[in-house]
Structure 1
Amino acid sequence: MMAKGLQAWHRICACGYEGSTLAVDIDVDGGREVVDEEMREEGLGPLRQRNFQTLVADLAQRVKGSGGRRPKLLDVGCAHGWFLEASQPHFDVTGIEPDARIAAIATQKGFAVRKGFFPDVLDSDERFDVIVFNDVLEHIPDIDSALRACAHHLNDGGWVVVNAPARTGVLYRISKGMARVGLPASFDRMWQKGFPSPHVHYLDDSSMAAIAANTGLRVSAIRPLPSMSARGLYARIRTDRNVSFAKAAGIASVLTVASPALSMMPADIKVWFLQAAP
């Protein structure tokens, strides 16, 4: 049973799962820009591209095609196409992106991108060897339905990859501690409150295992990924137009100094590798 958490919109469960009632309002027509996309690309690009190279190398070892074909990979919420670009040397890639403006950016790079929502833009009989959610699943309100759709669209022996913020991460725990003493700004930002697509879930190993089991999947492997890079950090903070220049510079400076210590603490990003339950 869910109970009220640290904010009116925050929900907690005795099992450890955390969720929110924040409204998801993705700009499917691309008519407005709440988030500074140039800053977002500059801020997230270096970290995500490095993490994606690590993740693709891992996947290339786990996933093999059959009958002489390359394995098929579906990137749900492919955004600018960074993961598609990293995966293309090893996989036959397809992306899905609901934001028309962002989908156009990935399409202009030459990738096959379907504008819309997963799994609505797929034919019922389409199957993939890998379905990837990079910082996406935590934004989908009906997480059970999304993972059941994955189970339906997987080839035998296929994988679902969930790359998402971890509830057990050090930065998330720090933000919760600050919210408890009346400083909620960092906690709000961790949930992306006020963004068109805020977080509606914060997962950990046990909640991911329970959700997977409920949808016909099982967790086969888990790995952490870095959640912060000094390069692009200021731009990442300034993605939120409400953060001033001075505040962003101050936060970036503090996090840069603290990054060596933070890197030795529990990871704020985890990757869960799921397969069909036996």
Structure 2
Amino acid sequence: MALSPRPDGCPVCDSTRRSAVALENQLQVVRCGHCGHAYVWPVPSAAALSAIYAGEYYLGAHGSLGFRDYGGLAAARRRMFSRHLDRIERLRPVGRVLDVGCATGDFLMSARARGWDPIGVDPSPAAAQARAAGLPIRGKTIQDADLRPRSVDLVTFWDVLEHLPDPVADLRRAGSLLGPGGMVALTVPDAGGAVARLSGRRWFGYKTAGEHLHFFTGSTLSRALRAAGFDLVQRRPVAWSCSLGFLGDRAGLYLGLPGRLLNQALQTSLLAGVVVDVPMVNQFVLARPTAGPGLDLRRSA
């Protein structure tokens, strides 16, 4: 898995001022003293990050990293992707779409059914399922994607940007691949939402440290986009679709004995496969490349 080099300072603004927020999975989450972005520091090694996605991440993992039953969430993903495409298609016609971190190709198959020309990149073994479905996989990451500049109309990062060591660099690469009228669409967990604010350092989002390297608020995500040369078109809170069984699995990890009991009950219940929408846990963003030279908002402070 080829990874973008991680900046020495804050990956959004490059400041080296930071303070501790939480310690999870033997990793420190810090907050930038200049822009307020929360991120894992120091970043895990390239080998450690590669190991997350090379094994059972999509294929039966149980723990804060990965999915026990990724295939079982396909119906939930299709429902969520349909909503995302509805929002995108109100603003631009179908065209060529690159999905970064495409995994088994669920989004690309949904897009193809609506007339899009799909392309994917993904570092994990799950990409083999996308290839088997006839989807072109052009690399492991956006940095090594075998694509010409200005050759795609839409680049998507669905719950992916928070996994990337240098998200600003990867957004810049996305900008170089977009043709006239092109857009970036993405979702990330909302570290500035009501649940995160009320939970403080106990927010369950921090428990994904290692898998998630960044914890974006609306403000820090907007700043990252500007630093990469994008203008924000739309940002809104959105639901994340999953099964009750998946929620039980997370409860078993994060909520102690009550969560484990709930998980045991759900995993043996017919309700485990029921798809639900968890409201306002993610933020959905559409952005366009800035007309003219982009702003370099990375600075030491």
- TM-score category of the 2 structures, normalised to the smaller one: 0.7 to 0.9
Match of 2:289 in 1: 276
- Return the alpha-carbon distance in structure 1 between the equivalents of residues 53 and 162 of structure 2: 22
Structure 1: which amino acid aligns with 2:290?
A
Match of 1:183 in 2: none
1:233 Cα deviation from its structure 2 partner: 2.5
| Aligned with 2:78 (options 42, 49, 54) | 49
Match of 1:109 in 2: 133
1:244 Cα deviation from its structure 2 partner: 9.8
| Aligned with 2:39 (options 8, 12, 19) | 19
Deviations 1:42-78 (A, max 9, x none): 45433322111100111122122xxxxx511000000
| Aligned with 2:236 (options 223, 235, 245) | 223
Deviations 1:22-51 (A, max 9, x none): 525124994x32662573314543332211
- Return the alpha-carbon distance in structure 1 between the equivalents of residues 90 and 130 of structure 2: 26
| Aligned with 1:145 (options 146, 169, 188) | 169
- Return the alpha-carbon distance in structure 2 between the equivalents of residues 239 and 116 of structure 1: 32
Match of 2:262 in 1: 250
- Work out whether 1:123 is the aligned partner of 2:155: no
1:128 Cα deviation from its structure 2 partner: 0.8
- Work out whether 1:10 is the aligned partner of 2:29: yes
Asked whether the equivalents of residues 40 and 235 of structure 1 are also in contact (C-alpha less than 8 Å), the reply is no
- Return the alpha-carbon distance in structure 2 between the equivalents of residues 252 and 223 of structure 1: 34
1:243 Cα deviation from its structure 2 partner: 10
Match of 2:191 in 1: 167
Asked whether the equivalents of residues 130 and 161 of structure 1 are also in contact (C-alpha less than 8 Å), the reply is yes
User: How has the CA–CA distance of structure 1 residues 34 and 75 changed in structure 2, closer, same or farther, with 3 Å as cutoff?
Assistant: closer
Match of 1:212 in 2: 225
Match of 1:90 in 2: 115
User: How has the CA–CA distance of structure 1 residues 33 and 173 changed in structure 2, closer, same or farther, with 3 Å as cutoff?
Assistant: same
- Return the alpha-carbon distance in structure 2 between the equivalents of residues 231 and 123 of structure 1: 39
Structure 2: which amino acid aligns with 1:10?
V
- Return the alpha-carbon distance in structure 1 between the equivalents of residues 252 and 69 of structure 2: 5
Gaps of 5+ in 2: 1-16, 62-66, 292-301
Asked whether the equivalents of residues 138 and 145 of structure 2 are also in contact (C-alpha less than 8 Å), the reply is yes
Asked whether the equivalents of residues 159 and 274 of structure 1 are also in contact (C-alpha less than 8 Å), the reply is yes
Structure 2: which amino acid aligns with 1:55?
H
User: How has the CA–CA distance of structure 1 residues 268 and 160 changed in structure 2, closer, same or farther, with 3 Å as cutoff?
Assistant: same
User: How has the CA–CA distance of structure 1 residues 210 and 228 changed in structure 2, closer, same or farther, with 3 Å as cutoff?
Assistant: same
Normalised to the residue count of structure 2, the TM-score between the two structures is 0.72
User: How has the CA–CA distance of structure 1 residues 193 and 87 changed in structure 2, closer, same or farther, with 3 Å as cutoff?
Assistant: same
The number of equivalent residue pairs is 251
User: How has the CA–CA distance of structure 1 residues 193 and 90 changed in structure 2, closer, same or farther, with 3 Å as cutoff?
Assistant: same
- Return the alpha-carbon distance in structure 2 between the equivalents of residues 126 and 236 of structure 1: 42
Structure 2: which amino acid aligns with 1:79?
A
Match of 2:104 in 1: 80
- Return the alpha-carbon distance in structure 2 between the equivalents of residues 193 and 28 of structure 1: 12
User: How has the CA–CA distance of structure 1 residues 129 and 48 changed in structure 2, closer, same or farther, with 3 Å as cutoff?
Assistant: same
1:172 Cα deviation from its structure 2 partner: 3.2
Asked whether the equivalents of residues 77 and 241 of structure 2 are also in contact (C-alpha less than 8 Å), the reply is no
* DSSP-derived class of the 2:118 partner: strand
1:221 Cα deviation from its structure 2 partner: 0.6
Match of 2:209 in 1: 193
Structure 1: which amino acid aligns with 2:186?
V
User: How has the CA–CA distance of structure 1 residues 239 and 216 changed in structure 2, closer, same or farther, with 3 Å as cutoff?
Assistant: farther
Asked whether the equivalents of residues 233 and 287 of structure 2 are also in contact (C-alpha less than 8 Å), the reply is yes
Gaps of 5+ in 1: 65-69, 180-185
- Return the alpha-carbon distance in structure 2 between the equivalents of residues 243 and 103 of structure 1: 32
Backbone CA RMSD of aligned residues: 3.3
- Return the alpha-carbon distance in structure 2 between the equivalents of residues 20 and 170 of structure 1: 21
Asked whether the equivalents of residues 172 and 268 of structure 1 are also in contact (C-alpha less than 8 Å), the reply is no
Deviations 1:160-179 (A, max 9, x none): 11211111234434553536
